[in-house]
Amino acid sequence: MKNATLGEGSKVPHLSYVGDAVIGEGSNIGAATIFVNYDGVEKHYTVVGDHVRIGSDSMLVAPVTIGDGAYTAAGSVITEDVPPGAIGVGRAKQRNVIGWVLRKRPGTKSAEAASRHSTDEQKG
């Protein structure tokens, strides 16, 4: 933590960077969360309310406020305020590209393993 205050009962686990922030009481910052406080010119603050849950591997891009009792989904990039009691989800929907390994990485051990489960259509 750098230039940040942590409210009573709040937790910041390993592999997280918290800079230029105020975190309220009873909040939990998920592992590997980054408080993105510098835009290349200036530093900005992040405010995390009371009893907030930040999902692991999230990025909070300052300036941003996470309201009291709010959540963020794991793996999110949060660029806008999250209102109290809401969940912020800032990530794209998962998209599986079927057959990608067989087409783009032929001859690898991964392709060999994948070919045991593929259809002719997936093989390209």
Residue 14 known to be catalytic: yes
Q: Which of 14, 44, 51, 117 is catalytic?
A: 14
Is residue 35 within 8 Å of 9, Cβ to Cβ? no
CA distance 120 to 78: 41
CA distance 107 to 53: 44
Sheet hosting strand 2-6, strand order edge to edge: 2-6, 19-23, 46-48, 64-66
CA distance 25 to 22: 10
Active site residues: 14
